[in-house]
Amino acid sequence: MPVQIIKKLLLVLDASSPSKAATDFALGLAKQIPCSLLAAFVIDTTMISDLLDMRVLIQEEMDDFIDDLEIQGDAILDDIKRRCEELEIELDDALHCRGKLNLATLQAQKQYGADAIVIGGWKESCRHKDEASAARALVLDQATCPVFVIKD
């Protein structure tokens, strides 16, 4: 009998289109292996602080923006809970994380003992210009476990 190398899969989420594709992939993989799933909706507070520093947002707008992201995250995590139940996939937890995307992801992976990470992809042409894309690339570079990068 082959050894199961992935027992817990960390799905990293935000409100992006690649994140939706990553969700479909992670659910399919968790069902097929089978393994349990940990879903983490990450609010990249570093990026939001940068918007404040550049005066794209003022403090009140930043607070509202974070509140809106929390609401989006709740809806996305609720959908994942529903889909896991329908597919009979064990969902270990569905949580909100805050901080720089790569650091929050790696911390969740370590804290919850995930054996692999699934994250939405980025466009190579944007990788060096876009902070969110660069943070996703850092997850790939810094993770100590396999990382599935899913493009939409």
Contact 50, 77 (CB under 8 A): no
Which DSSP symbol is given to 125?
Answer: G
pLDDT at 140: 84
pLDDT tens, residue by residue, 38-92: 999 999 887 777 776 777 777 888 788 889 999 999 999 999 999 999 999 999 9
| Residue 124: pLDDT over 90 | no
pLDDT tens, residue by residue, 6-42: 999 999 998 788 899 999 999 999 999 999 999 999 9
Q: Could you state, in order of their start, the residue ranges of all structural domains in the chain? A: 8-150
The reply to whether omega before 146 is within 30° of 0 (cis) is no
Other CB atoms within 10 Å distance of the CB of residue 112 = 15
Give the span between the Cα atoms of 102 and 44, in whole angstroms.
9
Other CB atoms within 10 Å distance of the CB of residue 151 = 11
CATH class of 8-150: alpha beta
Which DSSP symbol is given to 5?
Answer: -
Q: Residue 12: which residues within 8 A CB-CB, separation 6 or more?
A: 19, 22, 40, 42, 101, 105, 108, 117, 118, 119, 120, 139
pLDDT at 31: 96
